[in-house]
């Protein structure tokens, strides 16, 4: 066991820190950058015979559980933008509970690290019975979801041992961004955007390396938060998923109540919780929602909220309303890839909180890596 962990104390720690390499493996052979800018393209071998059908679908439905669901949520905006196809989200158990409508004209995309999660597998059977085109995105070659879908993409993140998913999450987002590029096709109107995303993908492992340097900073933040009862994380747009996933990490391993909140819903309930004691992380990196997040920060500050703001490098002064506000500065990348960067400080925070609180990092109580029963 010790050998596999290398010089790390825990698998979760190792898996967080190996993300520059796991992302490189995920993209290997799939991003093509030729001599001229025109030849920048994405190749997903497992999908090539089905791209036309996916483009013509009435809608795309993402289906998954836990972290895999959150990864799909992070990729939803870019898939909508590049494909123009409506994208809806389903938590596998909820789709089954409702027996929600799935049509022959739908493309159902099943996202699962293990490829064996019982609810996702049952939802797959349900979608197959209803005649949808079923696509699998898994980390496990030969898994039930990989075998039973019509086509798919392996994320190639390498084995993930820690129960809390970390490197699989970022690789899933990258695969779904590549999927959006593949489905979107290369029209003149989106050429500049596509190129920027592809260049961003090439550079992503370097940016991940850079953000991982915040390990000590996140340990210091964890020391501050060690005895808290609760933590809120506010995000929106591309980083709504980051809020949910960051909160899920803290909840599942550090055993601290934590809630990811869509910042646009702040006034519809969460604002009542704000006081000078409850720590609140606000995700406010640069994208189309930046000014809205600045206003959220102002409103939380006006109610004496205890703020921790994640912002793009260089923005600390413009987002920080007071000296008491703590800042997490992260490298700026293309907006649809920013969730890959932004989750990493939160993974580190969850990891250090868990160690400091004395809980089992790799095997949190009551949880399993793969939930194969309903």
Rule CB under 6 A: which residues touch ligand G6P? 65-68, 112-114, 117, 120, 163-165, 367, 369-371
Smallest distance from the beta carbon of 168 to ligand G6P, in angstroms?
7
Q: Is the Cβ of residue 58 or residue 257 nearer to ligand G6P in the bound state?
A: 257
End-to-end CA distance of the chain: 30
Find the residue with minimal CB distance to ligand G6P: 66
Cα angle 142, 145, 149; round to 5 = 105
Q: Is 19 helix (H, G, I), strand (E, B) or coil?
A: helix
SS (H, E, C) 310-335: EEECCCHHHHCCCCCCEEEEECCCCH
Smallest distance from the beta carbon of 236 to ligand G6P, in angstroms?
22
Q: Is the Cβ of residue 117 or residue 285 nearer to ligand G6P in the bound state?
A: 117
Helix 167-184 and helix 66-83: axis angle, to 10°?
20
Question: Which candidate, 74, 65, 167, 75, places its Cα nearest to that of 124?
Answer: 65
Q: Is the Cβ of residue 296 or residue 343 nearer to ligand G6P in the bound state?
A: 343
266 contacts: CB under 8 Å, gap ≥ 6: 234, 296, 299, 300
Cα(220)–Cα(65) distance, integer angstroms: 31
Smallest distance from the beta carbon of 65 to ligand G6P, in angstroms?
4
Question: Which candidate, 65, 68, 309, 44, places its Cα nearest to that of 167?
Answer: 68
Q: Is the Cβ of residue 66 or residue 279 nearer to ligand G6P in the bound state?
A: 66
Q: Is the Cβ of residue 294 or residue 363 nearer to ligand G6P in the bound state?
A: 363
Quote the DSSP letter at residue 48: T
Smallest distance from the beta carbon of 373 to ligand G6P, in angstroms?
12
Question: Which candidate, 260, 250, 200, places its Cα nearest to that of 221?
Answer: 250
Q: Is the Cβ of residue 140 or residue 338 nearer to ligand G6P in the bound state?
A: 140
């Amino acid at each position: 066991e010790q050998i596999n962990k290398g010089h790390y104390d825990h698998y979760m720690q190792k898996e967080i820190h190996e993300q520059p390499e796991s992302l490189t493996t995920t993209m290997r052979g799939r991003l093509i950058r030729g001599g001229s800018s025109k030849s920048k393209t994405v190749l997903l071998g497992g999908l090539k015979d089905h791209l036309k059908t996916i483009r013509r679908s009435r809608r795309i439905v993402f289906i998954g559980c836990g972290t895999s669901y959150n990864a799909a949520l992070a990729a939803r905006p870019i898939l909508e933008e590049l494909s123009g196809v409506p994208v809806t989200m389903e938590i596998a158990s909820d789709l089954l509970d409702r027996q929600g409508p799935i049509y022959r004209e739908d493309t159902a995309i099943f996202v699962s690290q293990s490829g064996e999660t019982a609810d996702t597998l049952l939802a797959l059977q349900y979608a197959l019975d209803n005649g949808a085109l079923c696509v699998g995105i898994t980390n496990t070659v030969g898994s039930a979801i990989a075998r039973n879908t019509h086509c798919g993409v392996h994320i190639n993140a390498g084995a993930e041992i820690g129960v809390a998913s970390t490197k699989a999450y970022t690789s899933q987002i990258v695969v779904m961004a590549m999927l959006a590029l593949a489905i979107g096709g290369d029209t003149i109107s989106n050429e500049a955007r596509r190129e920027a995303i592809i260049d961003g993908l090439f550079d992503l492992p370097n940016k991940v390396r850079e953000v991982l340097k915040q390990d000590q900073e996140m340990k210091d933040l964890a020391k501050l938060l060690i005895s808290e009862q609760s933590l809120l994380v506010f995000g929106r747009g591309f980083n709504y998923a980051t809020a949910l996933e960051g909160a899920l990490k803290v909840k599942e391993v550090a055993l601290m109540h934590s809630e990811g909140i869509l910042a646009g819903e702040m006034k519809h309930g969460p604002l009542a919780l704000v006081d000078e004691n409850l720590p609140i992380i606000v995700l406010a990196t640069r994208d189309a929602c930046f000014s809205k997040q600045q206003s959220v920060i102002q409103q939380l500050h006006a109610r004496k909220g205890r703020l921790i703001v994640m912002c793009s490098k260089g923005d600390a002064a413009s987002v920080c309303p007071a000296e008491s506000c703590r800042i997490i500065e992260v490298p700026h990348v293309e907006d649809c890839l920013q969730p890959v960067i932004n989750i990493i400080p939160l993974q580190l925070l969850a990891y250090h909180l868990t160690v400091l609180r004395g809980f089992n990092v790799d095997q949190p109580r009551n949880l399993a890596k793969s939930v194969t029963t309903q």
